[in-house]
């Protein structure tokens, strides 16, 4: 990664979250000044290590409010060159729990307000974290590309499509929008999560020696959170002509895996685990996908570095050593439950 000088400034909404807290630390190490705006819905311990850093600035605020971004800028810092918009109600269970009106306000309307303030401030780039869940179901021999039809199957995905449509319509604005449709994340960050499929499976296998799997055989696309961080930094540092008004699937073809494959990797380390399967149809998230990552590889040169095996090893090590003493605690989840 290219080292930069300390005059570079990035603002991250939702910077205390699973992706944002890890991304904040990487940007500080690269020499950026970082402003995090977060309402701390899930706590702020993930940012404690950065508070003494001279180039770190934190503002507790709700991005739904009209002037949050404008008032968050420290006058001693330069105007941010980019806003990385990660804030929102993430995941179909969390959106389902709060309902359509609240989910639309926190995801779509908030993104529109943040983007409008980015233009007012003179911010040059706006990077949005969307999801591959926006696609219709896709087959292994016909993976979803950025041009594939969208068929959001959950309220969460509907809100992400809403934001995407707004941003792409702003492609000619002074602030260049960039959308990443991310694969499903796993691994460790300063704000751990155990409502993510891989992390949840590892925890259940370790703590219960039992796994109950729904939708057996369904494939999804997975990516280590550290690779997601690399992707966002690449989007930040790439030439504007390569990213303005673009949508990229963010992940790797090696991450297109079935739930059976995830279970197989976990069983190599926890062979005593009993695995049970149950057919269940439930509204809002019947995803079975293979995703193409050709575009981001060819245009931005992105490749992932970490595998499911890496994620299983590190999460299991954290559980065994007691670094995370109570993974079932609500602060490690965006919603009270997730169906496997």
Encode pLDDT of 126-151 as tens digits.
999 999 989 967 667 789 999 999 98
In this structure, of 37-41, 60-64, 210-214, the range with the lowest mean pLDDT score is: 210-214
pLDDT confidence of 5, banded at 50, 70, 90?
very low
pLDDT of 174 > 80? The answer is yes
Neighbouring CB atoms inside 10 A of 149's CB total 9
Residue range 8-53, pLDDT digits in tens: 999 999 999 999 999 999 999 999 999 999 999 889 999 999 999 9
Per CATH, the number for 197-220+255-288+307-332 is 3.90.25.10
* DSSP per-residue string spanning 206-243: HHHSEEEEESTT-EEEEEEHHHHHHHHHHHHHS-HHHH
Structure tokens at 241: 């002509």
**Better-scored residue on pLDDT, 131 or 215:** 131
* DSSP per-residue string spanning 83-99: EEE--S--SHHHHHHH-
pTM metric for this prediction? 0.93
How do the domains of the chain map onto residue ranges?
Answer: 9-186+222-250, 197-220+255-288+307-332
Per the CATH hierarchy, to which homologous superfamily does domain 9-186+222-250 belong?
A: NAD(P)-binding Rossmann-like Domain (3.40.50.720)
**Rounded CA gap, 181 and 52, in Å?**
33
CB 276 within 8 A of CB 125: no
What rounded mean pLDDT belongs to the chain? Answer: 91
**Rounded CA gap, 23 and 127, in Å?**
13
Element (H, E) at 126: strand 125-131
In this structure, of 131-145, 191-205, 226-240, 302-316, the range with the lowest mean pLDDT score is: 131-145
Partners of 250 in the beta sheet?
182
Residue range 232-262, pLDDT digits in tens: 999 999 999 999 999 999 999 999 999 999 9
Structure tokens at 191: 């704000």
Which residues, including other chains, have CB under 8 Å from residue 32's CB and lie 6 or more apart?
4, 6, 8, 9, 10, 55
């Amino acid at each position: 990664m290219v080292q930069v000088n300390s005059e570079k400034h990035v603002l991250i909404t939702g910077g205390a979250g699973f992706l944002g807290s890890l991304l904040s630390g990487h940007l500080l190490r690269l020499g950026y000044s970082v402003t995090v705006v977060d309402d701390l819905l899930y706590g702020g311990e993930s940012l404690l290590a950065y508070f003494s850093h001279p180039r770190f600035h934190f503002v507790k605020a709700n991005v739904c409010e009209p002037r949050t971004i404008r008032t968050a800028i420290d006058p001693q810092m330069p105007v941010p060159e980019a806003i990385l918009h990660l804030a929102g109600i993430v995941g179909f269970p969390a959106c389902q729990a709060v309902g359509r009106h609240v989910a639309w306000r926190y995801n779509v309307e908030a993104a529109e307000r943040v983007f409008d303030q980015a233009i007012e401030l003179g911010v040059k780039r706006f990077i949005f974290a969307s999801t591959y869940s926006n696609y219709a179901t896709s087959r292994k021999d016909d993976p979803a590309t950025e041009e594939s039809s969208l068929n959001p199957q959950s309220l969460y995905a509907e809100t992400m499509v809403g934001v995407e449509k707004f941003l792409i319509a702003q492609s000619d604005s002074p602030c260049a929008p960039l959308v990443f449709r991310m694969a499903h994340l796993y691994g460790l960050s300063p704000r751990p999560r155990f409502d993510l499929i891989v992390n949840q499976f590892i925890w259940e296998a370790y703590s219960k020696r039992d796994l109950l799997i729904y939708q057996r055989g369904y494939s999804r696309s997975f990516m280590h959170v550290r690779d997601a961080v690399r992707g966002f930094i690449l989007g930040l540092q790439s030439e504007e002509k390569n990213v303005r008004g673009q949508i990229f699937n963010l992940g790797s073809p090696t991450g297109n895996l079935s739930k059976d494959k995830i279970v197989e990797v976990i069983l190599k380390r926890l062979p005593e685990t009993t695995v049970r399967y149950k057919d269940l149809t439930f509204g809002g998230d019947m995803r079975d996908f293979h995703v193409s990552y050709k575009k981001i590889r060819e245009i931005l040169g992105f490749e992932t570095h970490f595998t499911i095996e890496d994620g299983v090893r590190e999460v299991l090590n954290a559980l065994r050593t007691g670094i995370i003493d109570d993974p079932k605690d609500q602060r490690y989840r965006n919603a009270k439950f997730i169906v496997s």
